[in-house]
Structure 1
Amino acid sequence: MAGDALSDLLKTVRLTGATFFDIEAQDPWAVCSPSPASILPRILPGADHLISYHVLTAGHCFARIIGKEAFPVEAGEVVVFTNSDPHIMSSTPDLRADPPTADVLEIAAASQTPFPINYVKDGSLSARLVCGYLACDALPFNPLLEALPPVIKAGDVKGDGGWLGQFIKLAVSEVAEKRAGSETVLTKLSELMFVDVLRRYVESLPPQQTGWLAGLRDPHLSKALALIHDRPAHSWTVEALAKEAALSRTVLAERFTKLVGMPPMHYLAKWRMQIASELLSAGNSNVANIAAEIGYESEAAFSRAFKKMIGVPPSAWRLGVRPAPGSGGDEASDTESEPAATAAD
């Protein structure tokens, strides 16, 4: 039975969370997030893509990417900056703020509990936020990142007792009580929160929307994507996928290319290399076993395809070498030209 393509992707690109900031503020206030380049080495070393989120647990505020228009945020809503673009959370739309210093980031990274930032002087609290970061692999292939807008705002429908409301209650409790394991609990909660935000975003997409997430919403394409994810070593053809997805070969090929942005066999080749890159980074399997696991009959065939598509050989990737921009050929047609093993069904 086919699985869940979104879950498969999030596991393979190693989505991980880290929660570090508990902000209490009194008007007027403003907090600026620094660039990902200054955050990743201190908070989530080893990751190559950063996602920021802010959950407003009390009060109201404004959020904006620097240089863009501000938008309001109310208590019970979460704002996700999918590329962690430098941004400002503030009590009014036009307040400026300096990003945290390197020292603050170092202390936050070393903290075993959410790092408190208090902007309340002698008045009453006007806003409270739980802020944190998520990281995932962007290379060699993460179609989710290309499908997301720079900012997503989400919140439960009032009175529906949805997951985001429960998340906020749990986050507030963990931050306030600072019990053993709070950091781990908040980390896992942030990952679950992000998945729920993604689901809400998919459900809100207009019918004409294209992209990988739009493909998930199409029952036929989601079946094809799930099959590719579940059985990457299988000797798939467009005909075989179309039959499983209950479409004709022509319709599957056209619809897949239109929504997902590439032909099915191109996607299969890229997904195989994403799995291979994750296995290489983990270091638990030799290259021959990895080649067999993703559908190549020989180590040599796999190594040629990996270098041609990614830009560096498997041995270099395992050592942490990443290709220079533009060095990968992205020749996904190798899926059909290289001999591939047939996985046991």
Structure 2
Amino acid sequence: MDVLADVVTSLRTGPATSARTDLRGPWGIRFAHSFGATFHVVLQGNAWVLPIEGEPVALGPGDVVLMPRGLEHALVDHPSSPVVTFDPVTAQIPQGDGPRSLVLCGTYRLDRERPHPVLSRLPDVVVVPADPGRHRTLHTAISILGEELDAQHPGAAAVVPALVDALLVLILRAWFENNDCPTDRGWARALTDPAVVQSLELIHEKPGAAWTVADLAADVGLSRAAFARRFTEAVGEPPLTYLSRWRMTTAARLLRDHDRPLATVAKEIGYTSEFAFAKAFKRDFGVPPGTYRKQLTPA
């Protein structure tokens, strides 16, 4: 069980949208608040990210920036350049005849009702620099993506979406690797601490199992107290709290992606009765599971 991939899959509510834009300075694009996560990759040239709050961030070739909460921001060739709001219908961006920048921009559609802590605890602006020798898979994917978009080889319509989908996991993995410190709390530690990641794998693989803290501790070779402390420090919440969160996240995914009976969904995530499951689901999502499913079904 790959915990990071499982988390990202559970959060996705639809395909990513992306576009490559060839620009010449001066240019500036304002991106409105998105209910997903917005990303930008500089394929050639330079750019700046101007968050609605915070300092401007300079980007060069190969640099990647992710706005995990989709906050309003601007992407410009220089902080002083005029900015226009991006219109996805026309995609027309005023520009000049100055230096060239080639950028890839896109948005991932994510479930914002119950953001997973792997995303919610990230900063508003996540930057992964083009650090030679590090994160080779990410930068190789970016290079291949740039070539596919530039050359439009046969099959690019299938290759490009797959590469864009992979970028989210690769960006997150690179960020956690860049910021991993054994003494820090957070998911950088959660995904690298062998005992914690093993327990997360168990929870993700079998969310319906009747896990106890003692069971998880025994499976990862720690005392109950030592395991509970390490898990809580790394993940940010106690093991059984995370288990409850993941069960509801899994339930939402099953309701969204499958037409299984509610009783079957309840059993898969560890509830002995449909009534108990419906009560817990409504407490977390504000509506019963049946209503949640109907709201997702096109009229």
TM-score norm. by structure 1 comes to 0.78
**Counterpart-to-counterpart distance in 1, 2:246 and 2:174:** 25
Match status 1:255 vs 2:255: no
**Counterpart-to-counterpart distance in 2, 1:140 and 1:56:** 31
**Counterpart-to-counterpart distance in 2, 1:209 and 1:243:** 24
Q: CA deviation at 1:119?
A: 5.2
Maintained 8 Å contact 1:232/1:268: yes
The 5-angstrom pairing of residues 119-134 of structure 1 reads 121=96, 123=97, 125-134=99-108
| Identity fraction in percent | 31
Give, as a single letter, the amino acid of the residue that structure 2 aligns with 1:98. Answer: V
Give, as a single letter, the amino acid of the residue that structure 2 aligns with 1:315. Answer: G
The 5-angstrom pairing of residues 1-345 of structure 1 reads 3-14=1-12, 16-36=14-34, 49-101=35-87, 105-106=88-89, 121=96, 123=97, 125-140=99-114, 142-158=116-132, 162-179=136-153, 181-205=155-179, 206-320=181-295
Give the CA RMSD over aligned residues.
Answer: 2.3
Q: CA deviation at 1:99?
A: 0.8
Give, as a single letter, the amino acid of the residue that structure 2 aligns with 1:178. Answer: Q
Q: CA deviation at 1:306?
A: 1.9
**Runs (5+) with no aligned partner, structure 2:** none
Specify whether residues 81 and 140 from structure 1 end up closer, same or farther in structure 2 by C-alpha distance, changes over 3 A only.
closer
**Counterpart-to-counterpart distance in 2, 1:213 and 1:139:** 23
**Counterpart-to-counterpart distance in 2, 1:212 and 1:166:** 25
**Counterpart-to-counterpart distance in 2, 1:231 and 1:21:** 38
Count of residues in correspondence between the two structures: 295
Structure 1 stretches (4+) deviating beyond 4 angstroms?
Answer: 117-121
Q: CA deviation at 1:64?
A: 1.8
**79-88 vs 10-19, which deviates more?**
10-19
**Counterpart-to-counterpart distance in 1, 2:139 and 2:280:** 47
**Counterpart-to-counterpart distance in 1, 2:98 and 2:89:** 29
Q: Helix, strand or coil for the counterpart of 2:209?
A: coil
Maintained 8 Å contact 1:80/1:153: yes
**Counterpart-to-counterpart distance in 1, 2:85 and 2:189:** 35
**Counterpart-to-counterpart distance in 1, 2:282 and 2:37:** 29
Maintained 8 Å contact 1:76/1:155: yes
Q: Helix, strand or coil for the counterpart of 2:260?
A: coil
**Counterpart-to-counterpart distance in 2, 1:65 and 1:243:** 46
Give, as a single letter, the amino acid of the residue that structure 2 aligns with 1:236. Answer: W
Specify whether residues 177 and 287 from structure 1 end up closer, same or farther in structure 2 by C-alpha distance, changes over 3 A only.
same
TM-score norm. by structure 2 comes to 0.89
